[in-house]
Chain A
Amino acid sequence: MPVQIDIEHVARLARLDLTDEEKRRLAAQLGAILEHAAKVGEVATADVPPTASAIPRANVLRPDEPRPSLSADEALANAPATADERFLVPRIVEIE
């Protein structure tokens, strides 16, 4: 059975504007893909540990030495909007 998905909810979580046509198409396609993908449940039993990375590495550090990094101009060069050496975004807090 194709999986039923609350497309509006998932799109909101993903911060993704979708047209009504996209929502219709995605609901059908994701339902079919997830039905196939749910096969993982057939063999993934409780005694099998999960793998997040095939070659796990932990606490990989490099020496904490000062060295040149991007200038503010380089870091801001691709930004859609900047002001005063900062990224400019829509207002996120209300001012009294």
Chain B
Amino acid sequence: MSELCDLTATELAERLRAGEVSSAEIVESCLRRADAVDDRVEAFLTRTQDVARQQAVVADERIAAGDAPAVTGIPIALKDVLTTRGIRTTCGSRILESYVPPYDSTAWARLRASDAVLLGKTNCDEFAMGSSNENSAFGPVHNPWDLDTVPGGSSGGSAAAVAAGEAVWALGTDTGGSVRQPASLCGVVGLKPTYGLISRYGLIAFASSLDTVGTFTRSVRDAATLLSTLGGRDPMDATSLDEEPRDHTAALTGDVAGLRVGVVREAFGEGVQPGVRASVQAAIDRLADLGASVGEASLPHTDYALSAYYLIAPSEASSNLARYDGVRYGLRVEGGDSVEMMSRTRGAGFGPEVKRRIMLGTYSLSAGYYEAYYGQAQKVRTLIIRDYERAFTDFDVLVSPTSPTTAFRIGERADDPLAMYLSDVFTIPANLSGMPAISIPSGLDEAGLPVGVQLTAPILGEAILLRAADALERAIGFDAVPRLVRDLGGS
């Protein structure tokens, strides 16, 4: 096997610089793979083959001129909540089905300035609300490891595209686990940096105090490379942190001797599948073998994080999504007056999960209930942050499963929102606290489905997070290939 489209960006960048391969060849390899599998995976909502081929030509010229950054010429897929000037951006929603943004998100603008190559826009849960990708208005994504199972969500298309070789790497967004959980279910690396490290400009808002751009890659080093291009202050986002761009690959020394690793006690209780528990435990043992000092950490308010999240995120969403009013962009359904027009437009344009969260958020913020729900949830957010601050006085990084289960079957949890929400029970706390976290593959369960182990570090602790994850990744040596790709043989 090992088509170009299956290699890491780091390997491809080396080959590009050595003149052994061209960006055009890498792009064609990804396009061929997507042609072969995307009718079954359905990772893409929009494919941009023509744009990709043109950009590859420019990238090859830049590489030949010798001044190309590491991301130049490497094909990428973007979750369809990141705006791309002149290219349809739907958020997986009927209400934005034909929306063509007049501006680029900062994340894509920075990649484009480095002559990265755009393969297309990936499928996702509508407005990034979901944990299975079943809430997309344009149909579910299928997990390349087992096409009858979900890829996770909400960035399921990006995760599946990288797992299946349809893209070398991809961007997603993570509001409650929407990068890390699908990365875990699809056997790829998913990084959610510190809140505000990557600009949210052009990330179509779901919950503004939680939304974070994140990366899907085949290695931790690739994630560090992408973050080096994407991170750093942006005057277009008032919540962007005052950080200079930096080379995050410098942190990858491979050395974790003496690193203090805290195993989150609350993340190994009931509901965690035995196969997940065993795989994550084996990863923790690897860290100890590498010379890390492993102890037990506690985040006592973990049980309350899910409750707080499902008040805070819908509250922010109900406010953010008020902009879909049938006036400036998107769908309009006519009505007798402006209120009727807006109500009909929103009733017709939003899917069931988005309606559920708008209603939940509107209720939580409404007169008489605000203090009991939204107000109390904000206090729990303080308690979650205090839990982490206490844990990080004793530990450098925390470790847990990324999600309690491996990929579940399409349809299995569709009628039970609460069961679906539990997929994110271990990822949500890092969004509430703003801390950086990463999921890397720890192995396969007894059904042959990938398991992810999550590491979390303090605010702006990307260096130690990436160093630990890189060392662990090398020790695990995960090299399994999804069945779908294996079955292609020497295609």
How many residues on B have C-beta within 8 angstroms of the other chain's C-beta atoms? Answer: 75
B356 touches A30 (CB 8 A): yes
Q: Which secondary structure dominates chain B's binding surface?
A: helix
Select which of A10, A22, A33, A70 is within 8 A of B418 by beta carbon.
Answer: A33
Residues of B within 8 A of A62 (CB): 235
Select which of A5, A52, A57, A77 is within 8 A of B100 by beta carbon.
Answer: A77
Interface size class of A (residues with CB under 8 A): 35 or more
Q: Tell me if A38 counts as interface (CB < 8 A to partner B).
A: yes
A89–B342 Cα gap in the complex (Å)? 10
Known: A39-B304, A55-B196, A80-B331. A14 touches B359 (CB 8 A): yes
Residues of B within 8 A of A53 (CB): 209, 239, 434
Enumerate B287-317 residues with CB–CB distance to A below 8 Å.
301, 303-304, 306-308, 310-311
Contact indicator per residue, chain A 19-55, by CB within 8 Å of chain B (1) or not (0): 1001000100110111011111111110011111111
A90 touches B355 (CB 8 A): no
A78 touches B377 (CB 8 A): no
A80–B327 Cα gap in the complex (Å)? 7
Residues of A within 8 A of B102 (CB): 70, 74-75, 77-78
Known: A33-B418, A87-B327. A43 touches B383 (CB 8 A): yes
Known: A14-B318, A30-B363, A78-B330. A51 touches B378 (CB 8 A): yes
A11–B358 Cα gap in the complex (Å)? 9
Select which of A15, A29, A38, A42 is within 8 A of B417 by beta carbon.
Answer: A29
Known: A18-B347, A30-B359, A50-B382. A57 touches B238 (CB 8 A): yes
Interface segment out of the listed B12-20, B161-169, B368-376, B448-456: B368-376
Known: A10-B363, A15-B339, A40-B307. A78 touches B100 (CB 8 A): yes
Closest Cβ of chain A: how far from B357's Cβ, in Å?
Answer: 10
Closest Cβ of chain B: how far from A37's Cβ, in Å?
Answer: 5
Q: Tell me if B381 counts as interface (CB < 8 A to partner A).
A: yes
A40–B341 Cα gap in the complex (Å)? 37
